[in-house]
Structure 1
Amino acid sequence: MITNEEILKRRTFAIISHPDAGKTTLTEKLLLFGGAINTAGAVKNNKITKTATSDFLEIEKQRGISVATSVMGFEYAGHKVNILDTPGHKDFAEDTFRTLSAVDSVILVVDCVKGVEEQTRKLMQVCRMRNTPVIIFINKMDREGRDPYELLDELEKELNIHVRPLSWPIGIGSTFKGVYNIYDKQLRLFSANKTKLADDVVAIADINDEQIDGIIGSKDAEKLREDVAFLEEYYENFDLGLYREAYLAPVFFGSAVNNFGVGELLDTFVKVAPYPQPREASQREVRPEEQPFSGFIFKIHANLDPNHRDRIAFCRVCSGKFERNKFYYHTRLDKKIRFSSPTSFMANEKTLLEEAWPGDVVGLYDTGSFKIGDTLTEGEKLHFKGLPSFSPEIFKEAVNKDPFKTKQLDKGIRQLTDEGVAQLFVQQPGSRKIIGTVGELQFDVIKFRLQQEYGATCDLHNLNYYKACWITSDDKAALERFISFKGSSIAYDKDENPVYFAGTAWELRSVQEAYPALKFHFTSDFKFEAVAQA
């Protein structure tokens, strides 16, 4: 067993939200309060031209949205904090889903003006599926938003989870003056600052201290005392066990763009959030304190540094100690690989890493050996669960526009689909390339990155398919007959698994009834475990 000290100090979490709730801004401000950066670039402030620290792809800088998962780490209050900033846009939900497999808890950002939105509900469902502990940060309190009590009721009703406020706003919109930390029973007041930490911090431990009246006014001070007294009486005491079991969501209020409420969130988070937890493999449960190293690849990113055309695989350490220059066993390829230049991250800034512990995310330079879901161990044959590909919803054929760039196009499409941006299916004869995604925005990203990073251009022609299903059968002859008969509707994924393209829901039901010996899979989990039905 390894030392528990390194495990207990780590906090690895994802920040998730509906688009434009302020997720990337909050990520930057956590880095600012954690001392990882000195100046934050406000995403939507025209006076500040620097783009967000965690948005490093060119298309992200141009559009002001996150379309890739960023990984950032820093030390704070004796803890090692690892943040995974996820795409907020629904078209990149699959990337977010995979990222949630690599974290131990989540901060869910909610816009105080809009409240619970469509993507908020979907993300919460994924968290509940995984029993992931959730802290809710109600953002943009500097805007004229909803009543805090109304928001708490909506969170419980719409997200189907009990809530417990651990901070409380003083005013809202034009009257917003800061937040009171209920968990630590402390009030810290300072001037709003969009880029740096304020120097004029006033910390008051007693809510009945008359200093508060002088700073925020007697009316607001009295309202704060009444609100806090009501909350303490109405809500039960915060139960750490219920939070970590994902039955209870602590709620914090603030304005990330102005730094209000972020310090209270971070201070409480490192105290209550879970340290690295056990991970389920198909073979057994893997505990973080086990001596042998194990980890899995949850994301791959090509051209993180466009000048070097590198390819990085993101590995979540699950157990043991990762060490540079040590050989590790790649379970899918059945061979050992040594990593001479593993890295840690601050967005696109990389630092050479000598060792890593459970909860850490390690960047591994990859020459094409890794796929999402791959496992590394010290020799044991393991495969970690929870990283499937899903059946796409939109299909387009990639048609090369420049015959002289055929190799670049082929390489670009394969690398981008290896990252999980989309799925690639190849249909014969002619090696016809079909790209499948869950949203249109992914195609914009693919075309943009193909041109920017590989110098390749292509047209994307719409294909009217209803669903793509992986097909398997215990009856090899039956599977071969089906593939032969339905040849024009069959393609192969990047692992050479046959995939059936159904034109309509009726057509899919018909073939399922006509070919009972075949199994139709709607996720790629069939490769490692029992059939996953839709």
Structure 2
Amino acid sequence: MNLGILAHVDAGKTSLTERLLYEAGVIDEIGSVDAGSTRTDSLALERQRGITIKSAVVSFALGDRTVNLIDTPGHPDFIAEVERVLSVLDGAVLVVSAVEGVQAQTRVLARTLRRLRIPTLVFVNKIDRLGARHGELLADIERRLTPAIVPMGVPHGLGTRAAGFTPFAAGDPAPTGRLVEVLAEHDDALLAAYVGDAAVPPADRLRAALAAQTGRALTHPVYFGSAVTGAGVTALTAGLRELLPAAGGSPGGPVAGTVFKIDRGPAGERIAYVRLRSGTVRVRDTLRFGRGGEREAKVTGVAVFEQGAVVRRDAVTAGRIGLLTGLTEARIGDPVGAPEQARESDRHFPPPSLETVVAPVRPADRGALHAALTQLAEQDPLINLRRDDVRRETHVSLYGEVQKEVVQATLEADFGIEVVCRATTTIHVERLTGVGEAVEVMGGDGNPFLATVGLRVEPAPEGAGVAFRLGVELGSMPYAFFRAVEDTVRETLHQGPHGWRIPDCVVTMTHSGYAPRQSHAHATFDKSMSSTGADFRQLTPLVLMAAVRRAGTAVHEPMHRFRLEAPEWALGTLLPVLARLDAVPNATVTAGRACVIEGAVPAARVHELEQRLPALTSGEGLWEAAFDHYRPVRGPAPERPRTDHNPLNREEYLLRVVRRVTSG
């Protein structure tokens, strides 16, 4: 079973991982997050900061089942690391602090787990801490996470070192009534018994129904305990064994899996973490991988996780996580196996909405910096390196300021490169406002390329992505030329007329033409007389940007939805500040001495608002925010410097691409 431990930062998930490993006999002593001695936080930076930055896998035996336990980051700046893990899970434990309760990241994770239908147990941690809650917190979980919760016992001695957890005994009237009520929502037989006041079903029937509904992510059992003292962990372990499903897949089936993590070994070799869903992969097998299965490589080594260690094996089978070497071109998210059998993971969280320029303190380190950032991008593709050769700058995408600090510290600690990061800026997008067409004909005035390309661009719904379609016959020219046009279209759309990415549109190829392969008499192939892929790759940006300019674009900025709980007396101070920061409150509710404000705020203002909130609310404000949508920018559209050959300026583009200006 591949099990994820997820939580808001500081809820105690890494401590819970340590406790589970200790209870399973994998480690002899429980590590401390504060002391930097935990098993899964192996990076020096993780130990220094006391937070999880990279997901880590460690295994232990649970009866006759091997559990691959995946500890994930809790800080929202590293949500991309969590996203990659979600695609490989059979089940999850969502950790909630008994003191802080349901927090911003808790809600984001819970929504995603429900949407993906990942079977989930809830573990309320830190019952030994002063301020730990029970009934109030259960009501909060039911109200803010999911109503389909089933408490599996009752805690006692809250807020003391003697705090413990007593599981409900089979047949206890009060908990049995709650259990029947929740299970009846999805079980007609139980519903009939519940409504008809018939006899309560036997305990084993209820336990089987609970396991079935938990496995279908319809019901979520809740346990209380403490990872530090071990209270409640035995009951949680029993729940893992009885209520969560094991990994499926046939070892004899066709190979199919997903690359969810890329790492480097001691010798710098690339290691691909692959969750295998079907088939068996052996050393020296040749594997196909990539979105279309377009790449292949020979597996030179296989390792698996067993009882807390990484063990070399000759093969890895379905259901397990394999560490494969030899796949030197593998990227995170790549399906492994035949394209029609491989599962591509969808995006579960929004992309980063911030970026910064990373520059070396010593100019001589410029080349080494790019190599180091390229290696970091292997492990986290969403940092999205954007190199500006004109200004000799490298941009990286971010989720927040903590991630920027981590990138800076990692470059210095792991690569010996001291860098400075410029002020964080917001990443906008451009959306088409109409339909536009353009065409360049081979041999026509001003077209120096042996290619004819015509393109039409149209807006697509938000989130639809870029669709490329053919409005010409597929056999009208070699397929490689069509592929060159499509690849170039997708690349060119990363920079619209204002320099921002155009994420959602339909591009249709309306005209095509090429010069067939030919040569002079008794001579070899002459590319000056015959079309090549380069002709189409160099002409397409000119045509596409001409069509986009005719269609028109509007720049949109990212907006976060927010929820702010504060004392009622602070409302008069908060509302003017929110207005000055361009936040738009949608609802304001006052209950007793507290008020709740919900609305939307520009992503560029979130960090400033978070910094000002403690002073505005005397430290009593509770804030949560997450990306929600894009809205048109108000006022002048922000421009982003281009990093390409600028196809918007025909003369400049042709000077750079073909080193000459054509007539016309």
Does structure 1 residue 327 correspond to structure 2 residue 268? Answer: no
2:324 equivalent among 348, 354, 364: 364
Does structure 1 residue 24 correspond to structure 2 residue 19? Answer: no
Is 2:36–2:47's contact at 8 Å kept on the other side of the alignment?
A: no
Q: Deviations over 1:325-347 (max 9, x none)?
A: 32211244624322222222479
Does structure 1 residue 464 correspond to structure 2 residue 425? Answer: yes
Q: Deviations over 1:244-293 (max 9, x none)?
A: 2222110111111111111221122122101225xxxxxxxxx6566111
Q: Deviations over 1:404-447 (max 9, x none)?
A: 32332111101112211622123353553211111111111211
Is 2:36–2:50's contact at 8 Å kept on the other side of the alignment?
A: no
Q: Deviations over 1:161-182 (max 9, x none)?
A: 3111123323212274422233
| Structure 1 match to 2:128 | 142
Distance in 1 of aligned mates of 2:555 and 2:341? 27
| Structure 1 match to 2:108 | 122
Q: Report the AA paired with residue 260 of structure 1.
A: A
Does structure 1 residue 110 correspond to structure 2 residue 93? Answer: no
Distance in 2 of aligned mates of 1:231 and 1:81? 29
In structure 2, relative to structure 1, the CA distance for the partners of 1:252 and 1:383 (3 Å cut) is closer
Distance in 2 of aligned mates of 1:395 and 1:384? 27
1:78 equivalent among 64, 69, 76: 64
In structure 2, relative to structure 1, the CA distance for the partners of 1:517 and 1:418 (3 Å cut) is farther
Superposed counterparts of 1:79-478, under 5 Å: 79-174=65-160, 176-182=162-168, 229-236=173-180, 237-238=206-207, 239-276=210-247, 291-302=253-264, 308-332=267-291, 334-345=294-305, 350-365=310-325, 368-377=328-337, 382-387=342-347, 390-420=350-380, 422-430=383-391, 432-462=393-423, 464-468=425-429
> Aligned to 2:394, what secondary structure does the other structure show?
strand
Q: Deviations over 1:104-156 (max 9, x none)?
A: 21100011011111110011111122111110001111123344222221111
Is 1:12–1:82's contact at 8 Å kept on the other side of the alignment?
A: yes
Distance in 2 of aligned mates of 1:359 and 1:331? 20
In structure 2, relative to structure 1, the CA distance for the partners of 1:401 and 1:81 (3 Å cut) is same
Distance in 2 of aligned mates of 1:247 and 1:519? 42
1:372 to partner: Cα distance: 1.2
> Aligned to 1:96, what secondary structure does the other structure show?
helix
> Aligned to 1:372, what secondary structure does the other structure show?
coil
In structure 2, relative to structure 1, the CA distance for the partners of 1:360 and 1:500 (3 Å cut) is same
In structure 2, relative to structure 1, the CA distance for the partners of 1:113 and 1:58 (3 Å cut) is same
Q: Report the AA paired with residue 26 of structure 1.
A: L
Distance in 2 of aligned mates of 1:362 and 1:42? 28
Distance in 2 of aligned mates of 1:402 and 1:326? 45
1:295 to partner: Cα distance: 0.9
Deviates more, 1:103-112 or 1:169-178: 169-178
| TM-score (normalised: structure 2) | 0.60
1:519 to partner: Cα distance: 12
Q: Report the AA paired with residue 299 of structure 2.
A: F
Q: Deviations over 1:301-339 (max 9, x none)?
A: 34xx5x533432211111112223322112446243222
Distance in 2 of aligned mates of 1:470 and 1:295? 35
1:81 to partner: Cα distance: 0.5
Q: Report the AA paired with residue 240 of structure 1.
A: A
1:94 to partner: Cα distance: 1.7
Q: Deviations over 1:367-402 (max 9, x none)?
A: 741111112116757451325784322111122222
Is 2:437–2:457's contact at 8 Å kept on the other side of the alignment?
A: no
In structure 2, relative to structure 1, the CA distance for the partners of 1:62 and 1:345 (3 Å cut) is farther
In structure 2, relative to structure 1, the CA distance for the partners of 1:503 and 1:271 (3 Å cut) is farther
Unaligned runs of 5+ in 1: 1-10, 186-206, 208-227, 278-286, 483-491, 524-532
| Structure 2 match to 1:43 | 33
Does structure 1 residue 54 correspond to structure 2 residue 15? Answer: no
In structure 2, relative to structure 1, the CA distance for the partners of 1:376 and 1:520 (3 Å cut) is farther
Distance in 2 of aligned mates of 1:118 and 1:504? 33
> Aligned to 2:494, what secondary structure does the other structure show?
strand
Is 2:457–2:548's contact at 8 Å kept on the other side of the alignment?
A: no
Deviates more, 1:103-112 or 1:447-456: 447-456
Distance in 2 of aligned mates of 1:180 and 1:388? 36
Unaligned runs of 5+ in 2: 181-205, 440-453, 459-486, 505-544, 559-628, 631-664
> Aligned to 1:29, what secondary structure does the other structure show?
helix
In structure 2, relative to structure 1, the CA distance for the partners of 1:402 and 1:179 (3 Å cut) is same
| Structure 2 match to 1:3 | none
Is 2:61–2:307's contact at 8 Å kept on the other side of the alignment?
A: no
In structure 2, relative to structure 1, the CA distance for the partners of 1:410 and 1:100 (3 Å cut) is same
In structure 2, relative to structure 1, the CA distance for the partners of 1:348 and 1:463 (3 Å cut) is farther
1:33 equivalent among 13, 23, 26: 23
Q: How many pairs are equivalent?
A: 445
Distance in 1 of aligned mates of 2:212 and 2:555? 40
1:451 to partner: Cα distance: 1.7
Q: Report the AA paired with residue 298 of structure 2.
A: R
In structure 2, relative to structure 1, the CA distance for the partners of 1:131 and 1:290 (3 Å cut) is farther
Distance in 2 of aligned mates of 1:40 and 1:149? 30
In structure 2, relative to structure 1, the CA distance for the partners of 1:347 and 1:521 (3 Å cut) is farther
Is 2:24–2:60's contact at 8 Å kept on the other side of the alignment?
A: yes
Larger radius of gyration between Structure 1 and Structure 2: 2
1:479 to partner: Cα distance: 7.7
> Aligned to 1:325, what secondary structure does the other structure show?
coil
In structure 2, relative to structure 1, the CA distance for the partners of 1:110 and 1:475 (3 Å cut) is farther
Distance in 2 of aligned mates of 1:463 and 1:179? 46
Deviates more, 1:129-138 or 1:496-505: 496-505
1:66 to partner: Cα distance: 0.3
Q: Report the AA paired with residue 232 of structure 2.
A: G
Distance in 2 of aligned mates of 1:368 and 1:431? 28
Distance in 2 of aligned mates of 1:522 and 1:381? 38
Distance in 2 of aligned mates of 1:103 and 1:298? 11
| Structure 2 match to 1:6 | none
